Amino acid sequence: CTTVLGSRAENMDLLAQKFDYIFFTGSVAVGQAVMTAAAKHLTPVTLELGGKSPTIVDQTADLDLAAKRLVFGKYMNAGQTCVAPDYVLVHEDKKNELIERLRVHIDRAYPKDKNGFVQDYPQIINDKHFHRLRRLMEGESIAVGGEVYPDQRTIEPTVLQDVSLDAAIMQEEIFGPILPIISYQQRDQALAEIQKRPKPLALYLFSSDRALWQRIEKTLSFGGGCINDCLLHVSSPYLP
């Protein structure tokens, strides 16, 4: 087994070789390049792609529990996990309370030192993605956090409020410590928004309504998910 460190140039050289099978995990854009290269040799491919994994928080949710577990799921490794909650659709009656609970749990999980810096928080992987994340935040309403530290290449855990579905941050996977909050009025409105987007790698629901989860299972397609939790479905050896 050999590990080669590199970037796009090394990847393309690698893909020019002939393999029996390619398993790729990463972004949709690079996944397309992998499949194109594999097609030249008729190489079978498995793509495990990231995406905009949604979270639904409905009127019946325990908001403190939802906030605590969203903070765990979103900000682990500075949001740089493929199954991180990418954005939150929350009922408009619960939006302000959810944001306030997120603020409380961010402060608890990521305390600041005497200079106002979040202690021991991971860096963004490289300068390219650091600047990409900064651009995605531009012009958005910051409810929690928002500070960026170029010298450390870090962005503190951040919550954006009243994000438009057409905003730049809603057009690509975030893969960083920024959580957009989008309110909805009708449940069908939230489900329809998820349904019209590319199939997400993960979906999370915070609700006490069992009928809602059953409906989601029947109407939405996604890689895996949790009810009233985040990320933990990937930790079970008994699930595919």
Active-site residue numbers? 48, 82
Q: Of 46, 70, 36, which Cα lies nearest the Cα of 180?
A: 70
The contacts found for 116-121 with CB under 8 angstroms, 24 or more apart, are: 116/147, 117/149, 117/152, 118/154, 118/156, 118/157, 121/78, 121/154, 121/156, 121/157, 121/177
Q: Are strands 45-49 and 22-26 parallel, antiparallel or unpaired?
A: parallel
Number of other CB atoms surrounding residue 178 within 10 Å: 28
